[in-house]
Amino acid sequence: MTRRGNDEYHLHLFLDSAINDSSSNNNSIGGKIFRQLRAVASQRVAYIDYEQQISRWNEYQELLDKIDKKCSRQVGVRLSRNVKHNVKTFTDATTAALGIIALTALMSMWGSFTINSLYGIFGSAIALGFIGWQSFIRLYHPSIINFRCSPVLHIDEFAYMRQAIKGIPAVEHDPIVRLPVLEMDIPRAWLGQQGMLKFMESLSDLKLEDEGNNSETKRIP
């Protein structure tokens, strides 16, 4: 763990120096894109200006797309965006996992009652409470959706050596570079409104049958 922290620290020093050099030298080593990421992430946007928040988020993702495209061409470099939000849904995996835990907890509680085990009853009750809580947050979504993007660059320092020297083992933890974190808060009701508005706008392209019949009757002499 100490080694990983040291690697992260030194890479951050190198990244900061590259960004600072790019401000005075236009031909510096790749600091421009990182400076743009930092500038976008530090933009001050009004909390209620949701369209501007989305625009800033999309601009940030477009910059990450450029970095990701470079990573795909470079050996030993990988970008993880780590995009998260606070909306939980029922997927096949979560439904199966929660179902197995619930079934196990019910069987454990029934067995604990038969042998009169207080610890078993207490543990089963905690497991059932966990199932209830997980089901609740998946059925009732929060009114404000928080999106968070905390991108990380993973650097495999032995990737170039392994191309030339056979048998070089992989390191346990790759050194990483943490890029600026970007967050936004959008009301779920506002997102639903925008989706409905776009759908209503798409209905303007539809032609009614009555309009078609009227046009045909006008053409009849």
Determine the Cα angle at 205 with ends 200 and 211, to 5°. Answer: 115
Residue 52 half-sphere exposure, CB side, CA atoms within 13 Å?
9
* CA–CA distances in Å: residue 88 to residues 83, 136, 139: 14, 10, 8
Q: Nearest Cα to 158, choosing from 19, 21, 35, 7?
A: 7
Q: What is the pTM of this model?
A: 0.67
Contact predicate 78/153, CB 8 Å: yes
Q: Give 53: exposed, middle or buried? Use CB within 10 Å, 0-12, 13-18, 19+.
A: buried
* CA–CA distances in Å: residue 198 to residues 191, 203, 204, 207: 11, 9, 10, 17
Structure token pair of residue 172: 């346990």
Domain locations in the chain? Answer: 2-85+145-219, 88-140
* CA–CA distances in Å: residue 51 to residues 16, 37, 107, 194, 197: 31, 19, 50, 10, 14
Distance, C-alpha 89 to centroid of its chain? 15
Q: What is the pLDDT along the chain (221 residues), one digit of tens a residue?
A: 344 555 555 555 656 665 555 555 555 555 688 888 888 998 888 878 889 999 999 999 999 999 999 888 877 888 999 999 888 888 888 889 989 999 998 998 898 888 888 888 888 899 999 999 888 888 888 888 999 999 998 888 777 777 778 777 776 677 788 899 999 999 988 888 888 887 887 787 777 766 555 555 555 55
